[in-house]
Amino acid sequence: MNREPLQVRGRVLSVDRAGEYHHLTLVAPGVAERTRPGAFVALAVGGETSAMLLRRAFSIYRAKASGVYGDTVEVVFAVHGSGTAWLADRRAADEVDVVGPLGRPFTLPTEPVPCVLVGGGYGSAPLFALAERLRERGCPVHMVLGGATERRLFGVLEARRSAQTVAVTTEDGSAGTTGRVIDVLPEVLARTGAPVVYACGPMGMLRAVAGLAAEHGVWSQCAVEESMACGVGVCMTCVLPVRDDDGLVRMVRSCVEGPVFRGERVLWDAVGTVPAGTVGAPRVGPGR
């Protein structure tokens, strides 16, 4: 199977509201068949004469090869700034230039072990395709979905269909348990005995999930959302500090070596910096 990313002129099939989010479906020939769970697309925004030169990255929610309308790719997004506002204004048949699938996907377990999937806000979107692949491998799937409010949860009904158990949290108590995903995760790990946790959501949530998983001796895979410019490994905008197999810390590009990383490998407290001792970092202090 050829997994090389494509650049295609996508056509909008639909843009629907999903709580506080938008659910965009694009006809994008060839992208779906190359897509694995955890990959993302980079969408051009603003039209051909726009000054918004940088593509915007979005996790792939669903990718269907040869559906009724041809190959489709779906993303779920929050309006954040001018690029996502432009996307939210698209209508059926509008053109959106698509590059994808990009990035390294989630790694699947080799044994049919129970898995816990943790999604924060729209971060739950890429977990549904993962859940499907895990179920195909015989892995019991348990989901934990969290959001600040009920409207900032995504996919609760779908989760109830696709997972054996679902725990929901909201910070304001408008749905499920009042609190954050991290508050219910210890119970879910104990109840399911899962040896692996997959997570996608805000960096603070990923950091907490990775820390808790490590405390429980559980392997974690986290899909990060680091600011990106090129999306294809050229510009180094998206780097974050990651401990390598040899024990050394390197600044790693999340667009090509990620966005999925082993949770215990990321130096979460140092994201946004180049920590002392990082390979290639300038030495400071006496002796320079």
Ligand X SMILES: Cc1cc2nc3c(=O)[nH]c(=O)nc-3n(C[C@H](O)[C@H](O)[C@H](O)COP(=O)(O)OP(=O)(O)OC[C@H]3O[C@@H](n4cnc5c(N)ncnc54)[C@H](O)[C@@H]3O)c2cc1C
Residues that bind ligand X (CB under 6 A): 40, 54, 56-59, 75-78, 80-84, 122, 125, 225-228, 259
- What minimum distance in Å lies between the beta carbon of 69 and ligand FES? 30
CA distance 97 to 56: 11
Residue 40 contact partner, candidates ligand FES, ligand X, none, CB within 5 to 8 A by sort of partner: ligand X
Among 122, 213, 253, 263, binds ligand FES (CB under 6 A): 253
Among 98, 228, 249, 260, binds ligand FES (CB under 6 A): 228
Residue 214 contact partner, candidates ligand X, ligand FES, none, CB within 5 to 8 A by sort of partner: none
What are residue 17's DSSP bridge partners?
22
Q: Which is nearer to ligand X, 54 or 281 (CB)?
A: 54
Q: Which is nearer to ligand X, 189 or 228 (CB)?
A: 228
By three-state DSSP, how is residue 134 classified?
helix
Under rule CB under 6 A, residue 234 binds ligand FES: yes
Q: Which is nearer to ligand FES, 52 or 230 (CB)?
A: 230
Under rule CB under 6 A, residue 180 binds ligand FES: no
Task: Write down the residue that tokens 């603070």 correspond to.
Answer: 204
Residue 205 contact partner, candidates ligand FES, ligand X, none, CB within 5 to 8 A by sort of partner: none
CA distance 56 to 195: 34
- What minimum distance in Å lies between the beta carbon of 63 and ligand FES? 21
Residue 129 contact partner, candidates ligand FES, ligand X, none, CB within 5 to 8 A by sort of partner: none
CA distance 20 to 151: 5
Residues 124-163 interacting with ligand FES (rule: CB under 6 A):
none
Q: Residue 36 to residues 4, 20, 55, 100, 104: CA-CA distances in angstroms?
A: 12, 26, 21, 11, 9
Q: Which is nearer to ligand X, 21 or 219 (CB)?
A: 21
Under rule CB under 6 A, residue 238 binds ligand FES: yes
Residue 122 contact partner, candidates ligand FES, ligand X, none, CB within 5 to 8 A by sort of partner: ligand X
DSSP state of 257: T
Residue 233 contact partner, candidates ligand X, ligand FES, none, CB within 5 to 8 A by sort of partner: ligand FES
The edge-to-edge listing of strands for the beta sheet with 219-223 is 177-178, 165-170, 141-147, 115-120, 196-200, 219-223, 260-262
Q: Which of 263, 262, 259, 265 is nearest to 36 (CA)?
A: 259
- What minimum distance in Å lies between the beta carbon of 231 and ligand FES? 5
Q: Please classify residue 135 by burial: count the beta carbons closer than 10 Å to its beta carbon, then call 0-12 exposed, 13-18 middle and 19+ buried.
A: middle
Among 230, 251, 267, 281, binds ligand FES (CB under 6 A): 230
- What minimum distance in Å lies between the beta carbon of 74 and ligand X? 10
CA distance 194 to 192: 5
Q: Which of 282, 134, 263 is nearest to 200 (CA)?
A: 263
- The DSSP code sequence of 65-113 is EEETTEEEEEEEE---SHHHHHHHT--TT-EEEEEEEESB-PPPPSS--
Under rule CB under 6 A, residue 272 binds ligand FES: no
Interface with ligand FES by CB under 6 A: which residues? 228-231, 233-238, 253, 255
